[in-house]
Amino acid sequence: MNAVTRARSLSCFENPSEIEPLGGGITNVNLKVVDEGRAYVVRLGDDIPEHGVQRWNELALSHAAHAAGFAPAVVHHEPGVLVLEFLNAQTFDEAAVRDPANLPRIIDLIARVHHGLGAHLTTPVLTFWPFQVIRTYATRLLADGSQHVGALPELMKEAQALEDATGQVDLVIGHNDLLAANIMDDGDNLWLIDWEYGGFNTPLFDLAGLAGNNGLSEDQEREMLKQYFGTRAEAQWRPYQAMKCASLMRETLWSMTSELHSEIDFDYAAYTVENTERLNTALQDFHNS
């Protein structure tokens, strides 16, 4: 059954009149469905063991994020399917994230998510510790015979140094996938979508992911930490740099893994190159600081 046929057959719809693909998804198939004059997003995707994606965790966090006012409502779910309200909102790109008019709003949203979402959870959720994620990816890539296995020993050496530099952390509920495409603006409020990697983490990971994935300048990074941490910002700079490298390393290994396993029509090889370049730049900055 293809994606459109499956979406059309869902029991939550009465008479779906328009079904079209939504761009931007590099893990799931996403469709916009109009039914009885209302629009919805249908996300099609099963558990993804190689990426640690468990749909029960995504569902729990999606419900909590909506209850907290950060995400659209869940309309329907069943194995491999999540149906959400469609947001009439602009999807950000990297330039929009870097825009001085938007960045403070995004940082405020992240802080409110970290400190407000947990109160709305009704079930346990996963922990997303990036260094264990990195080690797990490396183990799988080696077992699967990835073309990138030659790079793994040095990456694991760097990962251990980064974890040591991170030190002790506070735990919050993080989104853990702050690509520009997961941030939306309806003109009044910002929204976070796609909670499949959400779970307990240090707040530094979301901040580092926001910066690394969207090309923030050092001045923007320092202002971000100052806005989030206040007087504690300077003490967070070194652990933050370590976590920025970890975030980019995780994204690089994610892409290497997707080269082997994903059936989504996306150029993962080019994405691996892009993230490797960003990672190497961040590691150089980290070691020179």
Span 10-66, pLDDT tens digits: 999 999 989 999 876 677 899 999 999 999 999 999 999 999 999 999 999 999 999
> Residues 15, 28: one domain?
yes
Of 85, 104, 125, the position where a domain reaches its end is 85
What is the pLDDT at residue 62? 98
In a 10 Å sphere around its CB, with 0-12 CB exposed, 13-18 middle and 19+ buried, how is residue 35 labelled? buried
> Residues 71, 214: one domain?
no
Residue 8 sits in a domain whose CATH number is: 3.30.200.20
Mean pLDDT of the chain: 95
Of residues 145, 206, 210, 205, the one with CA closest to residue 179? 210
Q: Quote the domain boundaries for residue 20.
A: 3-85
What is the pLDDT at residue 263? 84
What is the pLDDT at residue 25? 66
Span 180-232, pLDDT tens digits: 999 999 999 999 999 999 999 999 999 999 999 999 999 999 999 999 999 99
**Other C-beta atoms within 10 Å of 186: how many?**
11
> Residues 65, 17: one domain?
yes
Span 248-277, pLDDT tens digits: 999 999 999 999 998 888 999 999 999 999
> Residues 79, 112: one domain?
no
What is the pLDDT at residue 17? 87
How many distinct structural domains can be found in the chain?
2
What is the pLDDT at residue 265? 84
Q: Confidence band (pLDDT; 50, 70, 90) for 5?
A: very high
The C-alpha atoms of residue 203 and residue 169 are separated, in whole angstroms, by 8
Q: Is the pLDDT of residue 157 over 70?
A: yes
Q: Which amino acid is present at 54?
A: Q
> Residues 227, 126: one domain?
yes
Percent of all residues in the chain with a pLDDT value above 70, rounded to a whole number: 99
